[in-house]
């Protein structure tokens, strides 16, 4: 693979870098896990959309630039290197939008994508239930047929962004198929979080911020127009969403490359050069971040040549979730006790950025399908090992 960018791609990088230099807020917005910070991040989404940078690979008619996956990787490198804010619209842009392009109708794309790109509609993810997480097919929430649509009933939990978002997408059991595998008879539905019958109850993470919410659905009406894909075959749509969640689009290499560079700079500023053990850990995560960048280029080139992904998103998810944790653990060990101060503490290093990132990284091996499940997938589908755990 040729790792040199074309003159057009270099020009694209320069354009992105110049725009970000002119528009990234000099003072970072507050945490998006607070109501005030959420509003500030939504305003940033509007700024991004005005520059047509909020959805780089989408067709222009929906608010994008019609650029390639490789150019999106380039943009992401510049975005994170510039210290731009986290994307509050990530669930919509990175997860729902690819499913809409693959399985939605033209009416759905025309109605839902432009407000998603502009930040006018922020989406929450409503997959997990109290007894259905990585084993998503065991979900119990239902969609009952009603004239012109469906009535949603049940409970969703750990719904990211749901505390302050506008709409949510999730999976519901709509058809009873006795004797068939549990992933049959599911329907993929989208619904407003302020619709009659929806109760949103925020859930705090370790630092108390409501990063998630649980949703209680009591006969929430969803018109047929807000069902994505064929009713009863929502598993197929959900799996394409899960593939995007575990793959490059949710956790781009640029994010980790920028964090690794910050870590190297932190080591140079604060570390004892004689501490070779810590030095080696810094070097290790920096190399892993660079390897992930090169892997991303390889995937983009292969897809552009007509290739396809198999179980790779599972390997991808294992890699970036463990890398993220290693990056932040190393940073906190470098910073010592002060590294644990939250963003509300005045003397927190980098405004508490490393501590906040560590709190988030702790969840990496759990969300988007636990790493144990991903290892099962890799063992069975990539290595051809026997199915099941400890059965022998």
- For residue 192, the cross-strand partners are 167
H runs (alpha helix) in 53-210: 69-81, 90, 97-103, 106-118
Compute the distance between CA of residue 343 and CA of residue 28 in angstroms, rounded to an integer.
Answer: 11
Give the residue numbers marked as catalytic: 245
**Which residue has 């994307």 as its token pair?**
87
CA angle, residues 162, 238, 292, in degrees to nearest 5: 85
Pairing, β 149-160 against β 142-146: antiparallel
Element (H, E) at 264: helix 253-270
User: Secondary structure of the chain: what % helix, strand, coil (to 5)?
Assistant: 50, 15, 35
Contact 259, 327 (CB under 8 A): yes
Are 30 and 40 in contact, with CB atoms under 8 Å apart?
A: yes
Chain CA centroid to CA 130, Å: 21
- Give CA–CA dist 199/347, Å, rounded: 38
> 307 by DSSP, 3-state: which?
coil
333 vs 390: CA distance, rounded Å: 36
Distance separating alpha carbons of residues 375 and 372, to the nearest angstrom: 5
* Distance of alpha carbon 109 from alpha carbon 103, whole angstroms: 10
Q: What is the CA radius of gyration of the chain?
A: 21
> Distance (Å, rounded) from C-alpha 209 to C-alpha 35?
10
Helix (H, G, I), strand (E, B) or coil at 223: strand
């Amino acid at each position: 693979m040729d790792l040199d960018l074309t003159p057009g791609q270099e020009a694209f990088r320069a354009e992105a870098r110049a725009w970000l230099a002119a528009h990234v807020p000099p003072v970072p917005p507050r945490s998006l896990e607070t109501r005030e910070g959420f509003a500030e991040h939504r305003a940033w989404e509007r700024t991004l959309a005005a520059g047509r940078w909020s959805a780089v690979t989408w067709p222009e008619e929906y608010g994008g630039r019609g650029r390639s996956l490789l150019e999106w990787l380039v943009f992401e490198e510049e975005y994170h290197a510039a210290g731009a804010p986290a994307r509050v619209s990530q669930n919509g842009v990175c997860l729902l939008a690819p499913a809409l392009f693959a399985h939605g109708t033209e009416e759905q794309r025309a109605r839902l994508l432009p407000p998603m790109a502009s930040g006018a509609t922020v989406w929450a993810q409503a997959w997990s239930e109290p007894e259905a997480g990585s084993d998503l097919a065991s979900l119990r929430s239902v969609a009952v047929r009603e004239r012109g649509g469906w009535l949603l009933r049940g409970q969703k939990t750990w719904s990211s962004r749901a505390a302050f978002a506008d709409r949510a997408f999730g999976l519901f059991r709509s058809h009873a198929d006795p004797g068939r595998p549990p992933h049959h008879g599911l329907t993929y539905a989208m619904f407003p979080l302020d619709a009659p019958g929806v109760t949103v109850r925020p859930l705090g993470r370790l630092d108390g911020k409501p990063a998630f919410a649980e949703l209680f659905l009591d006969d929430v009406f969803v018109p047929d127009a807000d069902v994505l894909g064929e009713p009863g075959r929502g598993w197929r749509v959900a799996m394409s969403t899960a593939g995007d969640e575990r793959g490059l689009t949710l956790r781009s290499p640029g994010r980790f490359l920028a964090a690794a560079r910050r870590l190297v700079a932190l080591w140079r500023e604060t570390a004892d050069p004689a501490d070779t053990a810590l030095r080696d850990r810094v070097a290790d995560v920096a190399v892993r971040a660079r390897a992930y960048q090169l892997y991303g280029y390889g995937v983009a080139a292969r897809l552009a040549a007509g290739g396809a992904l198999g179980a790779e998103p599972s390997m991808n998810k294992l890699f970036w979730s463990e890398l993220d944790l290693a990056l932040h653990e190393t940073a906190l060990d470098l910073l010592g006790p002060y590294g644990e101060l939250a963003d509300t503490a005045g003397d927190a290093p980098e405004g508490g950025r490393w501590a906040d990132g560590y709190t988030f990284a702790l969840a990496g091996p759990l969300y988007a399908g636990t790493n144990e499940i991903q290892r099962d997938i890799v063992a069975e589908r990539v290595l051809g090992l026997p199915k099941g755990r400890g059965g022998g």
